[in-house]
């Protein structure tokens, strides 16, 4: 498996990480993030999707749990902007160097302002795209924030709080699943 720019960034920075490949094929009514959660049997609050928006016209990366949705008003507020809208997918691909469904917050072609939903900090590790559909990378949220130069803020809506056992370092798997 060829290393993506995201994986090369983690290796260069010597960040502990685990790659999780999966079959990226999924039903049309299921998003890429939901497909990753289902294929990996992971907790949708601990797997994060990378979205690209425009805040006052400037491309901005938002990293939110698959279990939630991006609150565009909260994203604008977190970046000091007034208005946020989702970016055109072609613009997102051009700026990041990744294809939609495989956009990683790490190793992007152009480092964009990034906001990670603060719920990530409640987990010992989180998963994000490793830069290709069908490949997630698990890493400590502090390393994700550091490498993307992100700020953290409450930018997601939905069931986002970690279970008490997960906040103490419990498994990434969904409840009731064997590792």
- pLDDT in 10s for each residue of the chain, 179 residues: 569 999 999 999 999 999 999 998 877 777 889 989 999 999 999 999 999 999 999 999 999 999 999 999 999 999 999 999 999 999 999 999 999 999 999 999 999 999 999 999 999 999 999 999 999 999 999 999 999 999 999 999 987 656 443 443 444 444 333 33
The CA distance from 6 to 108, in Å, is: 7
Q: How many angstroms separate the Cα of 108 from the Cα of each of 26, 42, 130, 155?
A: 25, 25, 11, 21
The CATH number that applies at residue 149 is: 3.90.960.10
Task: Let me know if residue 22 belongs to a domain.
Answer: yes
Task: Let me know if residue 87 belongs to a domain.
Answer: yes
Task: Let me know if residue 143 belongs to a domain.
Answer: yes
As for how many domains the chain has, the answer is: 1
| Structure tokens given for 29 | 């009514």
Task: Let me know if residue 55 belongs to a domain.
Answer: yes
């Amino acid at each position: 498996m060829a290393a993506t720019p995201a994986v090369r960034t983690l290796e260069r920075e010597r960040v502990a990480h685990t790659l999780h490949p999966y079959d990226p094929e999924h039903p049309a009514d299921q998003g890429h993030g939901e497909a990753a959660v289902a294929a990996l049997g992971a907790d949708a609050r601990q797997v994060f999707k990378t979205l690209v928006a425009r805040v006052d016209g400037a491309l901005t990366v938002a990293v939110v749990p698959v279990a939630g949705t991006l609150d565009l008003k909260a994203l604008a507020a977190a970046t000091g902007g007034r208005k946020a809208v989702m970016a055109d997918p072609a613009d997102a691909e051009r700026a990041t160097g990744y294809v939609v469904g495989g956009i990683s917050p790490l190793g992007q072609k152009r480092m964009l302002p990034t906001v990670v939903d603060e719920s990530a900090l409640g987990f010992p590790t989180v998963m994000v795209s490793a830069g290709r559909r069908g490949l997630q990378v698990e890493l400590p949220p502090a390393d994700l924030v550091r490498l993307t130069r992100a700020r953290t803020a409450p930018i997601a809506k939905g069931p986002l709080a970690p279970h008490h056992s997960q906040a103490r370092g419990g498994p990434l798997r969904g409840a009731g699943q064997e590792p």
